[in-house]
Structure 1
């Protein structure tokens, strides 16, 4: 961290200490989590971009990197160097999208490093090639939030426009995955959540519903049914952002119109076939559907999730959203766990009875009562397993049992909830 960035950080932390004087332990943990990402995961590159590793895995995820730097937009309002650090991340994200629009994670250089060599023709830049709708949404979201909250536009370069065109093309193609998509993913390690069925094509979906197909969830686990509703919700939000960006920044009415039309189409599809009736909770949004009438009623800790729809800014039906939230935060959700240490949403990505700090933060960020927000924040602070940082998942009975000791996204989410509790919120 440069001297100027450190001054900006110190000033901000001093301001926060005044607001959080009644919560010194929560403040100390915030300082650790907030400074960790900048100190350990961020590298400025020679081509004026920013590379951000996820933590204990030496690769950059499009999703994680955006979430990791999002809390620093508050500092970007006051500091040009931090603005350019975040803008540099957006530029690198779109550089990667233009290399391979179906990949979810990338290398620092064209090293050929990868999680596994899933495709003999895989780009040496690509760490992993799991197609996830959210991987193409997060870079647009970060670019938009940086513009709206820090008046920064240097992220909107030629690569951004090329990438946007690729994103729209992919989304249109994957609305007709069965007939039009050439994307396949096979991983031959025997772990069923790590590969797609039907020789890499994925479970059969009904084409032409208006929904966008996704091979994998934001957990990097394979979808049970290919229409992942939270990710389609996220697409609706960022397509609205894109419409505004194209209108006001690029003055490209053609792309603005394309974004709006796709946004409206996906939204109508969600509100038509993305929900189903339950005996206990009434009408709810589904986590996944196949378009033929099969629904998966659950939630996963990773964002986008159904729990995060308000956090993302999706214009949901309020009654249905409320019904859905009640389902998600109950044992009707097979990945809701409750124990001596905590209650919250976990994931099939981690063991049973493991709650995720990310999901706890999202629950807090979407609560309407300040008291409930603070209660969740305190529980997060009390479940670090003695490590003083957030983790991926931890056992709801014993927080010393956890996954991923160094997980920057989780640290960022604690920081974001803390800032929210102190009254700091981004314009969306």
Structure 2
């Protein structure tokens, strides 16, 4: 796909980064990567944005892949049509199955076979991830803010917003939910839910249950705190859309009430006292007194709290949490000769994820830290000038997933953020 605005910005960034040619070249490759390699315009006018080396569209990934293009959408018709097409396809998918995380371009039954209950033909995988409901709302809201476009609010899109609130309401009390998920056979335990597909027991907290993390790994405890933080943010956005665009006061009121219940749950059940770092946010909890203290590279994460818009980077509780997740107290943190950062149980132990390094930079208030992370990212591409899913911090030539568009987009977003930050400071 050709975008004049993207081409122009790449040229401008090459000039701005002319004293850092490796960074300029890596940006020039990564920024248009989603447009160049993962976009399919469909006959119905929608857009299918697949993740890269897997031919399926994740609701979360596709949102993240186009996010760096949003500021350009008001002035580039090609980008505007792409984002509108993606929003409409996301809405279509959520109406088909709001519990699925990844979908096919056509109802051909592709994807994981043998899961219980059986998935539909449109569905690649039916792992319920709370952030999969949040990401499309975030994209819609930000697109509307940038463009003021009201034509994007089709009946499918309006129904999507009502469905998001409805499913979250159901999953506040997961014990009454119809959703279960099991993957029989020789698969990792993280690919299935325990207790007959319902996951480990939880108590009511006001938060929304999630079966799986944004890594697609099963939650140890059902209330994933970063995903609930994301829900708090997008429910405020949804309420504004319902009030100002849809003229639906009831939906707006319901979204705000749900937001407040989730927020109270996070504050009551999601904060623990760490002996080294003080009060911090847990990654998961069950409302029964158990907490999981870690962070994962995939977003939403605890590290990404300011990026999500949940709290400011200077918030004391976030700062405590940030120190924890960027230390060896976080079991997903790794340090090697060439890099240090957050990984994920989704990949081999000791690996570092470029997504987490970019997010560390996007949420940093330190010039030195941002510059160090930019250099680290550019130096660990194994000579490809593209981001990977993860790499060995002692040997960056060892990596997973050569083609992972989400990582490329987030890196590009970090570069843009860093250049703009520097310009504003000067």
Q: CA deviation at 1:9?
A: 2.5
- Counterpart check, 1:51 vs 2:68: no
The match for 2:128 is 131
In structure 2, which of residues 102, 106, 119 is the aligned counterpart of residue 105 of structure 1?
102
1:22, CA displacement in angstroms?
2.2
- Cα deviation for residue 377 of structure 1 reads 1.2
Write the distance in 1 (CA, Å) between the matches of 2:116 and 2:85.
Answer: 29
- Candidates 249, 253, 278, aligned match of 1:253: 249
Structure-to-structure mapping, 1:353-364, within 5 angstroms: 353-364=350-361
1:290 pairs with 2:286 = yes
The residue number in structure 1 matching 2:393 is 396
Aligned with 1:51: secondary structure? strand
Does 1:144 find its partner at 2:180? no
| CA deviation map 1:66-114 (0-9, x unaligned) | 0001111132131122112111101100100000000000000000111
SS where residue 402 of structure 1 aligns?
strand
2:37 is the alignment partner of 1:40? yes
Q: Which residue of 1 aligns with 2:115?
A: 118
1:252-287: CA deviation from partner (whole Å, max 9, x where unpaired): 111111111111110111011111111111111000
Work out the CA distance in 1 between the residues paired with 2:370 and 2:149: 30
1:217 correspondence with 2:213? yes
Say which is worse superposed, 319-328 or 143-152, in terms of deviation. Answer: 143-152
Residue 369 of structure 2 corresponds to residue 378 of structure 1: no
Is the partner of 1:401 in helix, strand or coil?
strand
Q: Secondary structure at the match of 2:206?
A: coil
Bigger Cα displacement from structure 2, 193-202 vs 67-76: 67-76
The within-5 A match list for 1:338-357 is: 338-357=335-354
Q: Name the counterpart of 2:420.
A: 423
1:9 aligns with 2:6: yes
Alignment match, 2:272: 276
- CA shift in 2, pair 1:248/1:46, >3 Å: same
TM-score by length of 2: 0.96
* Number of positions where the alignment pairs a residue of Structure 1 with one of Structure 2: 420
What is residue 68 of structure 2 aligned with on the other side? 71
Aligned to 2:203: 206
Q: Where does residue 231 of structure 1 map in the other structure? A: 227
- The correspondence for 1:300, drawn from 296, 300, 313, is 296
Cα separation, 1, equivalents of 2:193 and 2:114: 15
Q: Residues 264 and 120 from structure 1, CA distance in 2 versus in 1: closer, same or farther, beyond 3 angstroms?
A: closer
Is the contact between residue 211 and residue 227 of structure 1 (CA under 8 Å) also seen in structure 2? yes
Which residue of the partner structure matches residue 88 of structure 2?
91
Q: Partner of 1:167 in structure 2?
A: 164
Deviation at 1:121, TM superposition (A): 4.0
Q: Secondary structure at the match of 2:341?
A: strand
- 1: distance between equivalents of 2:103 and 2:306? 29
CA–CA distance in structure 1, aligned partners of residues 376 and 57 of structure 2: 29
CA contact 2:293–2:330 (8 Å) conserved in 1: yes
1-structure distance, mates of 2:182, 2:9 = 47
Counterparts of 2:297 and 2:106 in 1: how far apart (Å)? 30
1:422 positional shift: 1.4
Counterpart in 1 of 2:310? 314
Structure 1 residue 393 displacement after superposition: 0.8
Note the alpha carbon deviations across 1:310-331, whole angstroms, 9 max, x for none: 1100037922111111110000
Q: Distance in 1 between matches of 2:222 and 2:56?
A: 26
Counterpart Cα distance in 2 of 1:388 and 1:28: 7
Q: CA deviation at 1:372?
A: 1.6
2:176 paired with 1:176: no
Write out per-residue CA displacement over residues 12-34 of structure 1, whole angstroms, 9 at most, x where no aligned residue.
22222232222221111111011
SS of 2:216's partner is: coil
Asked if the contact 2:272–2:279 (Cα under 8 Å) also holds between the matched residues in 1, the reply is yes
Distance in 2 between the 1:83 and 1:328 partners?
A: 37
Q: Deviations over 1:189-238 (max 9, x none)?
A: 3410000001100000012x101000000000000000000000000000
Offset at residue 8 of structure 1 (A): 2.6
| Structure 2: unaligned runs, 5 residues or longer | none
- The answer on whether the counterparts of 1:87 and 1:154 sit within 8 Å (CA) in structure 2 is no
